Amino acid sequence: MNEPVYILGGGRTDFKRNLKKEGKTIRHIIVEAGKKAIEDAKIDPGEIQAAAVGNFNAGQFTKQLHLGAFIPEIDPKLHGIPTMHTEAACASGSLSVLLGAQWIMGGFHDVVLVVGAEQQKTMSSLDGSDVLGAAADYHIEKPEYGDFMFPKLFGRIAQIYIDKYGASPDDLASVAYKNYAHARLNPMAQMRDANLTYDYASQVSEKNPTVAPPLRVTDCSQITDGAAAVVLVSGRYLDRIGRDKSKLPHLLGFGSTTDYLALEKKDAPTFSTARKAAEKAFGMANLKPRDMNGVELHDCFSITEIVAYEILGLAEPGKGYELAKSGATALPQVRGEHLSGKIDFEIPVNTGGGLIGDGHPVGATGVRQVYEAYQQLTNQAGARQVPNAKRYLTFNMGGSLTTSVAMIWGR
């Protein structure tokens, strides 16, 4: 990479909120998260030279697009700067981070604000699922999978994985159990007040029915309203303002790939195109998976986290579910009889609860992952802090592992 990219500040909203009930819209959380990030960065808003907004489908969820035009409402000093909107389904936010980083690497800008946002609690779950279906190959897969397309697509991935590797539906429960336990340590998590037991997650019941075999309700991420933001800056900017670069996370490597849109055209559950994104990131950083101190990865469904372990090289093919059950990806304080086994190495995954526990405001998720990495690398994660975290991996994907973005951050 050319000019190094640092995270100078960040912020987010509480993912438990319902904006419609508050009488607010997506503009309000874009402004809220953006203000928090700038305040955290401790810079004059007038220093910001450009902004990117990650969002998936505000046009259908809220009847509002052209979201970059809300950036000047964060502060009048942002009036007139160039903005851009990125969309790649659930990877929309991470693409905005990557866009901002590349602006800095290329020497175009020294200070960039990145905001990811989504307001989803605007309609019924059935109508919302149809809006989310736009992230799939809608006109081909909708007739095949019907309503609630994405649970069914990932139920298909789960069944392929189970058939190939001999895992069971009960093996998926350890992911949900862990991520709910992590969410209880996160004061901003949507499910922070939920006490999910392993027995509840691993058993089909009236309150935890199978929604897309073999996936149960607890295997699914949440419908969420929320936003997250980070301020990215160049190394030369930090030198100019006299900030200590050694204490700030910087981008060590990244990779981004795009697969075919339809699931049937992908090599599930291997997802070799997604693996290329991770390989690019590790190659650029000259690091290996086990060099990471923590990981924020995409767990829209429990099977996604297990598959992502293998995509990222944290587990061998077919061994991801065993890694989940071992407790190696859980913070030590949430391990117990249901997360126990032989641990060769520890690597906490989704310390804030992931999409299942923290929430999944689609366009915000990729930015939220980077913000969590920033908090961990600056020792601001509170009860969920990974001790002495120095290297963090984020992995965000959109669609049925169609767009994949991997980034490695370090200090």
Please identify every residue annotated as catalytic. Answer: 90, 360
DSSP symbol at 401: T
Please give the structure tokens belonging to residue 22.
Answer: 């508050």
Q: Which two tokens stand for residue 269?
A: 């559950």
Residue whose tokens read 């019907």: 146
Q: Which tokens sit at 283?
A: 């190659």
Q: Which helix (H) or strand (E) holds 231?
A: strand 226-234
From residue 285, alpha-carbon distances to 129, 201, 374 in Å are 38, 37, 17
The rounded distance, in Å, linking the Cα atoms of 351 and 338 is 18
Token readout for 129 is 């699922």
Task: Determine contact, residues 226/22, Cβ cutoff 8 Å.
Answer: no
Return the closest-CA partner of residue 249 out of 366, 408, 44: 408
The alpha carbon dihedral of 344, 219, 221, 87 has a sign of positive
Find the largest Cα–Cα distance for the chain: 60
Q: How far apart are CA 18 and CA 394, in angstroms?
A: 27
Q: What residues are paired with 12 via a beta bridge?
A: 228
